[in-house]
Structure 1
Amino acid sequence: MAARIFIDGAAGTTGLEIHQRLSGRTDVVLHRLPDELRKDRNARREALNICDIAILCLPDDAAREAVGMIDPASNVRVIDASSAHRVTEGWTYGFPEIYGRAAIRRARFVSNPGCYPTGFLALVAPLVREGLLPADWPYSVHAVSGYSGGGNALIDRFESEGDLAWRGYGYAMGHKHLAEMQTHAGLAHPPLFAPAVIDAMRGMVVEVPLPLRAMPRAATAPELRSALSVHYRESRVVSVVEGETPQELLLRRGAAPWDGMELFILGEMANDQVRLVARLDNLGKGASGAAVQSLNLMLGCDEIRGLQLSA
């Protein structure tokens, strides 16, 4: 029997992209509310309680409200694409390459990782866990994302203001992604996070610079590369790029949707200055693609079903 899926917030960017990835599948039935009922509390409550899996593509407060509408005695399972539950007890963090596929298969409540934390954690979490990088180092994260990561308001702003090329933000510190990064990487301190949005609809580069010589208990660059290669060797979503160091990495304005992620270990091996870099689609592995990957695991089917993995 096909699983009944309700996307609460289906009109937003993440919801639309999840819907696209699920359209045409015979193992799921998508339940959608008419436009005039999308914000009707009673209609949403009913939809949330008759589905098998609810996917929440909502602001944080609305996501918490939606979870509160679900009958605790029901068998409804939840994937929350907001940041409301990413460090909440009782929720499974939806990063199968870090926490294992079995944990997501059996979970009732799954929190979808944030796009920036996805890149950071893919690079750092396995290395800290293996003791190859210190947990108490003050890490920095430099990252740029396509403007779709800022929601409909920022999308409208970039597309209406023709001269807006770059938007740095988070200067007040205390960004909501910090707790997620620190918790799931097992760090003693939150990283210093420097995010920016660029004039491209989608795409993301996340970079963590490592001055290995100055870092106590840090492994060598070849050891870091080897460890990440081993960690992701069976993944069909995340790949570690081997071979000659590229002269540059690019994001293109017209990039197609992509649900994979590439990891690079770059730098001068002789002086131990290394740049760990993740390249992904903020709407793919950074949002909708990750939600569909978790959904697939919860349904017990191939985890990459419906994903777009040709870059």
Structure 2
Amino acid sequence: EETKQEGMMQTSLSKASVLKAMRPSYFLQTKEGAYQGMIKHNLLQNTRASVGSSLAFTDLALQTSKLQKYATQTGKSVLEYYNLITPRDYEDPVQEKLTLFTPFLSQFKPQKNLLLQGVNSNANEFIVLNRHKMVVGDYMALLNMIKPDVIVSPIEQVTNKCGKRKVGRAIRNAHRTYADMRQAAQLQNSKLLYPVLYEQADDFFAQLDADLRGTLDGVMLFNGLENLSLAARFDSVSNLRQSLGDNAIIGTHVNATPLIAAVLSLAGIDFFQTDYPLELALDGK
């Protein structure tokens, strides 16, 4: 059995297969914005025991009562969800690192090491680079230099306190920027994620121009997650997953509890990119 696993560890996969094999994953980021590590789970089997229960999926079976409440909301049985969250056949055969380039991280500091390797060197890792309030031209110039595997197209920062006018402007600008970046991403063989404000996730395709439909590599969900019930979040992500197809990448920028992360992973989220400080996670807070 050990020999078989060692053989799988040496298997070479394409980057598309790598992304597929990573679901579900959880990403951590320090207060300074530099990526420090990723926790990879089989949901019931925690692969990094030193991380506190606030982020780890520690024995989700013990949270059956919460799953029961959620199952009641959605009209599904607990057994149906429990079967989904039992350990899956993840052997983690991939050794290469992937690079995620995202606009919503802390202040970009060129003098810092851009390719910070992280603390969990045995897992499949995204190396996250930092960019904050950088003009789109600079953003594109930097990604051309670094050539990341996955790029989140920029979007104007929108909070729950922003008015509808700003939200609408952000969506229009995001659409134009995405169209401008498509060619650059294709030349680099990078996956380009379209930024979506979470409130617009359900009617997302109604906002897209016809020429973009069916061409998306994936989406990155921003903002508004906490305003929805757990069942609504599940339905929203499930609908988006069904619309995009199983090969598309869906990420979200959010601080999520273990239960929320588990439910959204079941719904089709591929990764969580968060500002949750690694120091607090390691302390179990």
- More helix as a share of residues: 2
Q: Which has the larger radius of gyration?
A: 1
Identify which of structures 1 and 2 has the higher relative contact order when contacts are C-alpha pairs closer than 8 Å and 6+ apart.
Answer: 2
Q: TM-score, normalised by structure 2?
A: 0.26
- More strand as a share of residues: 1
